[in-house]
Structure 1
Amino acid sequence: MPFPLYLLALAVFAMGTSEFMLAGLVPDIASGLDITVGTAGTLTPAFAVGMAVGAPLVAALARNWPRRSSLLGFILVFAAAHAVGAVTTSFPVLFATRVVAALANAAFLAVALTAAATLVPPDRKGRALAVLLSGTTTATIAGVPGGSLLGTLLGWRATFWAVAALCLPAALGILRGIPAGRVKEEATGGPALRTELAQLARPRLLLVMLLGALVNAATFASLTFLAPVVTDTAGLGELWISVALVSFGAGSFVGVTVAGRLSDERPALVLAVGGPLLLLGWPVLAVLADEPVALLALVLVQGALSFALGSTLITRVLYEAAGAPTMAGSYATAALNAGAAVGPLIAAATLNTTAGNLGPLWASGILVAVALLIAFPLRTTVAAGRGAEAGALHVGT
């Protein structure tokens, strides 16, 4: 894989740490700003909404911008938003910084996804995506648990400062390692913006975007409210939140790595095996959440299955959006974060039911079930191998 791809993954690591870190900080933020846990949990969908809305918008604006300057500017805005968030005592201001950071993250990821796909041969998009997403999975293994531990020891504001600091070496890497060409130069003589946007009318593309959003909604529904499950349901201390997040992150790394080797040529295998197992895993986790060993083991398994399935579906988005070479990354980003926005909101609504802290786990199971019910009758469409993006629409079995 080209070295610039790993520099992009470094930046994604910093941004992924921020996107996931609230899973371990929600209780402390709620206590520090004198708000409810449910209210603090809305910071996650605020970030996701900013990414889902911002990705296509900023990608369209940045089509003719210098790629290196764009990526550098986006990551510096991201860092500044976290610096403001670290010092504010106002929840509305903190909420606003999350939206600004999300817009910067969305813009960065949309350009980075498109750039990553053009750095490798057309039949290796899945592997390129796996390398890029390794920044996110590494964040869940090291960055997010480290942030949770730092928050436990020094307060949640220290974690925001740490994320801002992480952006600086990533920015230097982008400055030194990414070519200065314009985004649109990757597709010389490529389609007009209107033509790229018209790809969104293709049922096949919309289908894989919807399924990716549903799977990611299930992931974030439980991950956002994992901390209360660890401390209240399983009866473990706060430091075990970091252990649980490490387990989830280790699983996600395995899932993305394995899926990266299969999603180009054998997506049907990932979907057929991973989908039912992921569906089964969420209710099993809800039932066994009061058993610490089972909780930590199942969190690892669910992390692997969630990211294997999710990354495979997002790879399908890139293939299906091949007719939109400068916008495909933004479509994938929008799908991921539409799910990340909706999932925690659904999960938050379950906290006041009889399910309590386990409500988000049951909600995740329902979301995966909906995805599989939609996907099953259209399974040959969803699991079409590479090259299908150039073919005619095929729906059915």
Structure 2
Amino acid sequence: MTARTENLNVVGFDHMPSPAEIKERVPLTERAAEAVLAGRRSLMDILNRKDPRVFVIVGPCSIHDPEAGLDYARRLKRLADDVRESIQVVMRVYFEKPRTSTGWKGFINDPRMDDSFHIEEGMERGRRFLRDVAELGLPAATEALDPIAPQYYGDLISWTAIGARTAESQTHREMASGLSTPVGFKNGTDGALDAAINGILSASHPHSFLGLNEKGEAAIIRTGGNAYSHLVLRGGGGRPNYDTVSIALAEQALTKAKLPCNVVVDCSHANSWKKPELQPLVMRDVVHQIRDGNRSVVGLMVESFLEAGNQPIPADLSKLRYGCSVTDACVDWATTEEALRGAHKVLREALSSRRTDCR
């Protein structure tokens, strides 16, 4: 009887390996585990104000070519070592892309970039890429979009974002409460802070919800709450929100909610008017706020790849430009290096005076 009433729009159920199977194919190495854990410890210490440094989440808008991604990661690791005195660098490794209507959904969903949706292949290759990055000694950050995906590669992540479109989602708030990483909730696309602050509050509490365990079995997941959720300002509603007034208002809203005054500024999206070349200017402005005494800004985000700009996905994938984004436009490597070295120069002398209170 149920055949008449369920799955009426489903055309198939393809086999998906369990998280345990994918992990067996791409096991966590000791070297990778140390990089992940060291990254998490540093981020938690920054959020707890035990470490006066600033963290920077930097990397491609999305990963589509693991070869170019690792080329970028090797360069970033060398730069991270040079600026580590004042900046904890974390590589942005985004595999899932939320779509307003349609479009490429990211490397895990469609690794061949041809609408064939070999998710089982994308998941294994994505995990392998994260392990390769971790084995370089570089921590990774990602956006949690699919609530099942963290079971497959969450052990390789040091920082997680909940996006502007999902910060209001109960599913994502519950998932964040169980993640092993610090979690940044972005303000809404309209620029409002309410969804993100309520998301932080929700994620800090225990939850019980349906999900999958490592064997791929349906399970009731019970969480203890995430004490390291924080606010990410990404602009919205037609205006940026990284200026001193906007950050002061964010501090007031966090204080009113009895939350720690931890703020991350996303230099992309509405904060740079979706013009990637403006991201270094946003970073410079925020770094100068820290130099001038700001206590609440603990991190920054930058979309960056080997080449500037972005490109459409061609029918002939051999025509893709190496190291150029296929989603949002990025700044190039030279600009990235100049921006981070410039920030390091300013921050190195400013961080010693940072205190544990908000402003």
**TM-score after normalising by structure 1:** 0.28
Structure 1 or 2: larger strand share?
Answer: 2
**TM-score after normalising by structure 2:** 0.30
